Each structure stands twice: as C-alpha cells, then as structure tokens.
Chain A
Amino acid sequence: MGELRLESLALGYGAQPVVQDLTFSVADGEMMALLGPSGAGKTTILRAVAGFVRPRAGRILIDGRPVDHLPPERRAVVMVFQKALLFPFLDVAANIGFGLKMQGLDAGAIRRRVAAVMELTGLAGLGRRKVHEISGGQQQRAALARALVLQPAVLLLDEPLSSLDANLRQQMREFVQQIQAETRVTTLFVTHDQSEALMMSHRVSLLLDGRLRQTGTPRQLFYRPADPAVARFFGGENFFHGRIENGRLVTAFGSFRAPEAPGNGHRPLATIRPEDVRLDLENGDGAVTGEVTRTRFEGLATRVWLRCADTTVVALTPESRWTVGQRLAVVFPPERVRIFPEPPEKRRESLV
C-alpha cells in the first residue's frame, strides 16, 4: 500500500531555490521514473520525500495523509542511494536485517525474512560475507534487499545503477523492474538516463530547470512532448514554425499534411524526430527536396543533414548510402509530425 503525492512542493538550499511548484503523484504499485539532467534537483526531491530536506512550501502525502511532520524513520519511506552504503561493520545478512532489528523484531523472524528477501534478490548464501567480499552488483542488490525487506509504502531509488558498468547495469535494470513487478512496491526511481527511464517505468516525470515539464507514459513523453525542451531532452531535432492552411502545415521549405492541426491561421511550432524523416531519391513530383550537406555514420543508423531552402533538416536513417551533394526527396509522415500546443500569450499574439 502506498500512494505518494507531492503538492506544490518548493525546495532549496539556503538562498538557492532548486525546485518550484512541483505537483505529481505516484500511484500505488506504480514505478515512476523521475528524469532530469544532472543538477536538476532529483536527489533533492527524494531527500524531501524521505524527510531529510524540509520543503519551503507545499505538502507531501502518503496514502492521502501528510507526512511533513514525521521524522524520516516514521515515514515508511526507504531510500536507496547511489552508493550502496552497506554498513562495513555488519555482514551482508545483518545489513539486510538492519531495519527489521530497528523495528524490534526477534532474531528468528529477522532471520526468516532476511533469508526470503535474499532469495528474491539472488543473494542466497552470501549472508555471512563481509560487505567488501561481494561484488558491486551484489552490493547494490543487498542495498535494495535491505530496503525491500521492510515492505515500505514508498521506495525511493536514487540512480542506484549508475556506478555499475554498462553490461551489469542492463542486467540490473531488468532485475529491478522484475522485483518491482513482483513486490508491487510503489517506486520513485531517479535517473538522468532517458532510455533507462523509458524502459523501466510505467510513467515518467521530466524535470528541467527546477520545474516539472511533463508527466506521462514513456510513449507520451517520447512521441507527444509537451514542449520543445522536452522534445530536445529525448533527442528531438527539426523545430520549425509553420502556418496552418486547410489541414496542411506550410513551412518556409514546403508544406506537409498535418494530422492534428488546429484551425486555420495558427502559426504553431512543429517538430519531427530525425528517425521519422524519410529520405528518397528525388523523382521530380514536387515534394520537398533538400541537398545533403553532411553525413555521420553512427552504427545502427546514419545521421544526414539536409539543406531545405533556408532550413536545415536532420534525418536519422538505417541506410548509409547517401552522399554529400545529393538532392533528395524529404518526406514527413503526417502521424509523426508533432505540433506543439501554443502557449496562451503566443495564441493571443497570433489572433491579433
């Protein structure tokens, strides 16, 4: 059981504000990724939820009850830090049983529950080891086990995988996801890695410049970004202003069919992801064309820069046959073109 809700939360250190007006909820049993670049304030938010940072404004609720007045040990919130922080003076089993011991459980019950969670996290048989006698991945799993054994209302994970090498990190992502699905513990998972956020969580909250920009499913954030900054964060390129005329988006370099077009007369900002841009040999039937100015081979795909009238369009294609100087037909599949909702003041401007 555990629904976490943050309401108009403002956080900061001294005179320096870090996060403003933060509102979102994590549903019971949900895994939400809190995504943002380094320094965005992700750790600060987790520390506030855990009770280590006092909010300047706003409220934190768990299952509808405010917890702001509760000290960290009485919030039923457990945080797993970037470093495993296993106590070096205890063995692995005693580390995992630490929280249960604090609750005053008897030794037998602690032993049983620790054994069960060690089984779950693949640490069976390592209980008597010293902390430095297990690998980095095992240490992170032990830190996770130490939190899970308490069956917290909310589990906070602060980039617990970022210190692991790429292979191990991939394994651990699947492992964490699987454990979360099994235990159904409400989880707020911090990461600055967009693919990690997209692949691991039910929903993603993106934090940029101290503000929550968008909360939604991985697909929503990826394909329907709320604003250009969100799109850019997920690798979006090709931002251009256009004019809506009869369901078509008219730009400086040509016009395209637009699926979700607002009414005539709007001058929205639109974008298309580079991998959605289709390139073809020019066949002279009047489609938008561009001249290749640069190509870059990136392994799975090749990035192609094209000059279309005065605008540069970037395409990411699986084909690597394009060469500089070629004239190509540029196709924007309508369902892939994203037209941003105009901010209120812009809309007023365009009405004048």
Chain B
Amino acid sequence: MSRRHPKALAAGIVLSVGLPFLPLVLWSLSERWFFPGLWPQQWGLRAWQHVLDAAGGQVASGLLQSTLLAAVTAAVSLVIGVPAGRALGLYAFGGKTLAAVLVTLPLIVPPLSVAMGLHLWFIRLGLAETFAGVVLVHLTVCLPYTVFVMWGVFANYDPDFEDQARCLGASEWAVAWGVTLPLVWPGIVVAGLFSFLLSWSQYLSTLIIGGGRVLTLPILLFALMGSGDRPVAAAVSLVFVAPAFLVLLVSARYLGRRGLMGVR
C-alpha cells in the first residue's frame, strides 16, 4: 500500500501528525473565540504581534537559550554516551547488568525527585541557577537515551571494519574518524536528536535548577500561559514547536536517505 500510494500515505501521516496543531494555529489567530463556536468569532493577529513585538525580545532570547542548552546537552551526552554505548554493545565485562540498571535509573525515578535531590547538591557546588547546572540536570534524562541508542547501534556493529582499516594503514585516530564515525553516524544523529528534543522540552527540571535565571522557551511559555491569554499561549507554543519540528523533519529525511550502515 505504501508502495502504490506514496502520496496518500504521506498525506495520512501529515494529517495525523499535523491535526493536533490545527487548534493551536486557530487559537493563535483568534481575537475572540467562545464556546460552542467551532471557529473563532473574530480573527486577528494580536497574539502574533504580542509574541513578535512586545514580548519579541524575551521570546528571541528564550529561543536562543533553549537552542544553546539543547545543543550543549546533546553534544555532552554524545561525548559520554557514544563510548559508553560502544563498551556495552561490543564488549563483555563484569557488572554489565549493573551498568545497564544504573543507566536506566534516572529514567524510572520521577524527574521531580531527581531535580529536587540534585538541587541541594548544586546549591552547595555553586551550580544552581547556572547554565552548567541545567545542562547537568538535563543530562540525567538525555544521557540514558543516548547510551541506549548507541548500545543498540554497537550491538549490530562489526568491529572487524576497524581492524580492516588498521591493516590498510589507518592509525587509531584515522580509524575512529574515518571509519567508526561514518559507520555509526545515523545512530549518532538519532541519539543526538533525541537528546536535543528531550532537553528542548524540559520544564520542571529547568525551573528547579535554573531557578528562574535560565529562561528557556518552556519557562517563558508557562509564564505566558499563566496570564490566561490563550491566543498568546498558542502562538508561543507554535514558536516552541517549530524549531523542533524542523530538526525532526530534516533528520528524518536524512535518515530515510541513508539508512543504517555498518551493520553485520
């Protein structure tokens, strides 16, 4: 069916993914919209003007802050998660099960407890209300996912490729850069994307550790929502979703084109 009707399939996907966003778009463009009307009674651009003009500076800095934070978190979680996933996927060693449990632990403990627990320590260490502190607390969520994704990638990876490259004259460094990296690149893209999006959508942990000093887009969004102005909240939501959606779209296309390589 997907082979015969690619357009129908694509339309179906776009509809099912995009439909939930329709009310948001409508809300952001409404001036007045009362129950039980199916459409807004009055259309207008007030919300967008507010978001882009009055609160524009705030939104822009929130956007920057969120992007920076998510990028740094994703980078750090890859730097740690790729070697960890490689060790778990390729080598047998004592305490492997324990390592797996420890990696999973932050995922099953409620994020609130993690953030609250860390908060005290971070205050003592001077990490509370800092960018680095927020990166660290985001890592408790992002790192486990990265490790798991890379674990799976390396479990299907053939290390003979590396030996082959070595005896063809590649140094250890050249092998890591020129062979291993391209072979696991799609996995790295997926893991990095996961981390980026997870960090992007963090609210509670950012609020607790950042203490209102690290103003990411979600923090801003909740503040604006709290004011009870629905059209504005809807517009901010769309601003919030758009970059993430874009990242997802680009990488999905990229992965679809390349597929996973280097598997046995």
Judge whether B262 is part of the interface by a CB distance below 8 angstroms: yes
A85→B158 contact, CB < 8 A: yes
Given contacts A85-B158, A87-B183, 9 further A-B contacts (CB under 8 A): A51-B166, A73-B166, A75-B167, A79-B164, A89-B182, A89-B185, A102-B171, A103-B169, A150-B168
> B262: nearest residue on chain A (CB-CB)?
A88
**Which A residues have a C-beta under 8 Å from some C-beta of B?**
47, 50-52, 71-73, 75, 77-79, 81, 83, 85, 87-89, 98-99, 102-103, 146-147, 150
26 contacts between A and B (CB under 8 A): A47-B163, A50-B167, A51-B167, A52-B163, A52-B166, A71-B171, A71-B172, A73-B166, A73-B168, A75-B167, A78-B168, A79-B163, A85-B164, A87-B161, A87-B165, A88-B262, A89-B183, A89-B185, A89-B261, A98-B165, A98-B170, A99-B168, A99-B169, A102-B170, A102-B174, A150-B169
Residue of B nearest to A47 (CB): B163
B262 to chain A minimum Cβ distance, whole angstroms, is: 6
| Chain A residues, Cβ within 8 Å of B160 | 81, 83, 85
A322 to B185 Cα, complex, angstroms: 67
Asked if B161 and A85 make an inter-chain contact with CB atoms under 8 angstroms apart, the answer reads: yes
Whole-angstrom distance between the alpha carbons of A222 and B79 in the complex? 57
Please list the 10 inter-chain residue pairs (A to B) with the smallest Cβ-Cβ separation, ordered nearest first.
A99-B168, A102-B169, A72-B166, A89-B182, A88-B261, A85-B164, A99-B169, A72-B167, A102-B170, A73-B169
Check B118 for interface membership: any CB of A closer than 8 A: no
Known: A88-B262, A89-B183, A102-B174. Is A81-B169 also a contact (CB below 8 A)?
Answer: no
CB distance from A51 to the nearest CB of B (A): 7
CA distance A344 to B164 in the complex (A): 45
Main secondary structure of the interface of B (DSSP, over half): helix
State which of A50, A73, A75, A79 has its C-beta within 8 Å of the C-beta of B170.
A73
CB–CB A71/B166 < 8 A: yes
Of the candidates A79, A83, A88, the one whose C-beta lies within 8 Å of that of B167 is A79
Closest chain A residue to B175, Cβ basis: A73
Which of A51, A72, A79 lies at the interface centre, i.e. has the most chain B CB atoms within 10 A of its CB?
A72
Return chain A residues, CB-CB under 8 Å to B87.
Answer: none
Q: Does B114 contact A (CB under 8 A)?
A: no
Q: How many B residues have CB within 8 A of the partner chain?
A: 20
> Which single residue of chain A is at the shortest CB-CB distance from B163?
A52
With an 8 A cutoff between CB atoms, is B189 at the interface?
Answer: no
A87 in contact with B179 (CB, 8 Å): yes
Docked complex Cα distance between A306 and B27 (Å): 97
Q: Mark B120-159, 1 if CB is under 8 A from A, else 0.
A: 0000000000000000000000000000000000000010
Contact of B164 with A77 in the complex, beta carbons under 8 Å: no
Identify the closest chain B residue to A89 (Cβ).
B182
Q: Which residues of A contact B161 (CB under 8 A)?
A: 85, 87
Q: Closest CB of chain B to A22's CB: distance in Å?
A: 20
B77 to chain A, nearest CB (A): 24
Chain A residues positioned under 8 Å from B179 (CB to CB): 87
**CB–CB B167/A77 < 8 A:** yes
Contacting residues, chain B, for A83 (C-beta < 8 A): 158, 160
Q: How far is the CA of A147 from the CA of B164 in the complex (A)?
A: 10
Taken together as a complex, chains A and B put the C-alpha atoms of A78 and B163 apart, in Å, by 10
Interface residues of B in 229-264 (CB under 8 A from A): 261-262
Report the Cα distance A47→B168, complex, angstroms: 14
Alpha-carbon separation in the docked complex, A131 to B27 (Å): 52
Find out whether the CB atom of A73 lies under 8 angstroms from the CB atom of B158: no
CA distance A226 to B178 in the complex (A): 48
Give the most central of A47, A52, A73, A79: most B CB within 10 Å.
Answer: A73
Residues in A neighbouring B165, C-beta threshold 8 A: 87, 98
Query: Smallest distance from the beta carbon of A346 to chain B beta carbons, Å?
Result: 44
Which of the residues B168, B172, B183, B262 comes within 8 Å of A98, measured between beta carbons? B168
A248 to B226, CA, bound (A): 110
